[in-house]
Amino acid sequence: MSQGSDPWTLFKNFYSTCLLIFSVVIVMGLIFEQKTALSRNVHPWFAFFALWVAILWLSMVEGGQASLVGLAPVNKELYKESHKKSYMCTALCHKGDNLDRYLLGRQFMVVLVVFVVNLSGAPIETSALWGMPKVIIDIFLVTGAAMILFTCMIGQLNTQVNAAHCMLDYINNYFAVFTLYVAMLIEFSGLLHSSYLVQKLVAALAGQKIESFEEERSFGMNIFFWGRCLLSLAALIYSLAVTISALFSEQTTMWEGVPSWLAIVLFFVLMSVVGLLEGMQIAFFAVAKVPASERGNSVWAKKTCDLLFKGEGYNLPGFMIGRQLCVVSCFFVIARVTTISLKENDPNVFGVPDAAQSFFNTGLLGALITTILGSISWQLVASAFPIAFLSNPFTYIFLRICLFLEATGIASGSWVLAAIHKRFAGFQRDEVYIGTAEERAASDNKDDSQRLKKGAGHPVPLPGFIAACPKSLKDLMLKDPAVKEYIDSLREGDKNLEMPESLKAAMGGDTK
């Protein structure tokens, strides 16, 4: 993805950056006016530091995923000496099935961090702030727009922009190493192991075998694995019971005046929306290289694919930006719906001891439910049944919504942040250190695309390579489909296709 310098793009960057600055000011004002949960119940400075630590960690979690997934096919020996901490990360993450384990753990980290951001910076009352007009309060606080822009642009989108092209530099630090180990530890704890039950069920329904880079588990390891699956399932069921009970009793941070039945409905609807958006990215990448004739006969599947892949291919990366805005918006509302908050003299949920109730109040239960039922499970289903996933009207509707959000340019400030971050951090593109995929193949260091497993049980969204191409190459691919087919074959490591004549001409006849 690249940003041009046309007047409309410059305007979007400017107004989006202004909105971001204003949103940051408002969020900081809420904290120091003690109008957020943590600032009121603990201390404003505690909420301030908790918020910024969470946002910075979120940036590493999001950028780390792009780097670790993108570097999976690359020979590690090429950067073993130049990027020692990046090598530490990939040596662990790309060993056996650790990439799948990391992705499972980091998904929970994303949800949990967003819940912490919500506790730290989201308003618990929106009656007034510095005497601002009601319309400003309604737009930025009541709707949550300030928190959404703050979280998306600072904690997610700008980091993904840099990590998409500067993977080696981005994770070449101990913060990235620490984040990777935390994600692996979360997976090892077994807290999310009920996701593996969904994985096996989906693979069985699809009639596919789950690929693995590891040998079959021993009897003892099987007992340890299935034991964690059962404990995770019990934790998930109990979390649902506690959350639903609190919703019926109006003991959450849900807005006052919302009846309990509506809160329950809203909870499950938002979980479904998040799941749909999570699954859509998997399904879209899965069908990106499938011929149009093989994308199903459903009217909605055809309408969705026609919209997604029309023109110069900008709609796929455009969807990813709009999707991020939608998902974070849902996360903030889910966090408010599921975070337990007892009123004075209220009994503890299910009569648990005060220590257990304090644990419930952290929002961890809601994060667990959202991760497994609202995210991972839907990704697994989409990885096994991408065509079926595209064949429902809601996929098309939400694609339209996401593209509209991206077209407004409301998140364009992330490009400005990314440029500033890249300059001060001294990031360089990966090609500077390890060459292009073609250069690596020519020097007997060909990328191993099989390191990124696809299909049932492996919800790994692949990098949007075409979206990152120069505009001149995109224009050529639009005019000559054979060029796009050739570029796709290079991405997959297939050197059998001959370079099209139009591409040879564009290169001045030099095909080396």
Q: Which domain holds residue 484?
A: 469-512
Is residue 272 located within the same domain as residue 366?
yes
Asked if residue 70 is part of any domain, the answer here is: yes
Q: For residue 215, what are the contacts with CB-CB under 8 A and spacing of at least 6?
A: none
Is residue 432 located within the same domain as residue 299?
no
497: left (phi over 0), alpha (psi -120 to 50) or beta: beta
Q: How confident is the model at residue 177, as a pLDDT?
A: 96
pLDDT in tens, 177-193: 999 999 999 999 999 99
Asked if residue 165 is part of any domain, the answer here is: yes
Q: How confident is the model at residue 465, as a pLDDT?
A: 40
Is residue 431 located within the same domain as residue 310?
no
pLDDT(1) > 90? no
- Backbone angles phi and psi of 123, in degrees to 5: -70, 140
Q: How confident is the model at residue 247, as a pLDDT?
A: 86
Q: For residue 238, what are the contacts with CB-CB under 8 A and spacing of at least 6?
A: none
Is residue 74 located within the same domain as residue 141?
yes
Q: How confident is the model at residue 512, as a pLDDT?
A: 46
Q: How confident is the model at residue 467, as a pLDDT?
A: 41
Asked if residue 201 is part of any domain, the answer here is: no
Least confident range of 128-137, 307-316, 462-471: 462-471
Residue type at 508 in one-letter notation: G
Asked if residue 354 is part of any domain, the answer here is: yes
Asked if residue 453 is part of any domain, the answer here is: no
Last residue of a domain, one of 439, 458, 479: 439
d(CA 421, CA 166): 12
Q: Please state, as a whole number, how many other Cβ atoms lie within 10 Å of the Cβ of residue 338.
A: 29
Residue 139 — very low, low, confident or very high, per pLDDT cuts 50/70/90? confident
Residue 284 — very low, low, confident or very high, per pLDDT cuts 50/70/90? confident
Output 388 or 288, whichever has higher pLDDT. Answer: 388
Asked if residue 511 is part of any domain, the answer here is: yes
Residue 248 — very low, low, confident or very high, per pLDDT cuts 50/70/90? confident
Asked if residue 176 is part of any domain, the answer here is: yes
Least confident range of 202-206, 227-231, 428-432, 502-506: 502-506
Residue 401 — very low, low, confident or very high, per pLDDT cuts 50/70/90? very high
Helix 7-32 crosses helix 145-152 at what angle (to 10 degrees)?
110
Is residue 23 located within the same domain as residue 159?
yes
pLDDT in tens, 402-459: 889 888 888 888 888 888 999 998 899 888 888 877 777 777 777 666 666 555 666 6
Span 467-496, average pLDDT: 54
Q: How confident is the model at residue 291, as a pLDDT?
A: 63
Last residue of a domain, one of 395, 410, 425: 410
Strand partners, 123: 36
pLDDT(227) > 90? yes
pLDDT(261) > 70? yes
Asked if residue 450 is part of any domain, the answer here is: no
User: Which single residue is written with the structure tokens 């004549």?
Assistant: 501
Is residue 340 located within the same domain as residue 486?
no
pLDDT in tens, 92-101: 998 988 988 9
pTM: 0.80
Is residue 280 located within the same domain as residue 349?
yes
**Percentages (nearest 5) of helix, strand, coil residues in the chain:** 70, 0, 30
Is residue 254 located within the same domain as residue 271?
yes
Least confident range of 115-129, 155-169, 451-465: 451-465
Is residue 129 located within the same domain as residue 19?
yes
3-state secondary structure 487-505: HHHHHCCCCCCCCCHHHHH
Is residue 238 located within the same domain as residue 375?
yes
Last residue of a domain, one of 373, 392, 410: 410
Residue 464 — very low, low, confident or very high, per pLDDT cuts 50/70/90? very low
Give whole-number Cα distances, 195 to 200, 236, 295, in Å.
9, 10, 28
Residue 90 — very low, low, confident or very high, per pLDDT cuts 50/70/90? very high
The gap from C-alpha 323 to its chain's centroid, in whole angstroms, comes to: 9
Span 275-295, average pLDDT: 75
d(CA 501, CA 167): 33
Nearest-CA neighbor of 180 among 248, 38, 85, 82? 85
pLDDT(312) > 70? no
Nearest-CA neighbor of 399 among 390, 408, 388? 390
Token couple for 116: 């912490």
Q: How confident is the model at residue 176, as a pLDDT?
A: 95
Number of domains in the chain: 3
Is residue 172 located within the same domain as residue 263?
no
Q: Let me know: does 277 contact 327? Beta carbons within 8 Å.
A: yes
Q: What average pLDDT does the structure give for the chain?
A: 82
Is residue 427 located within the same domain as residue 477?
no
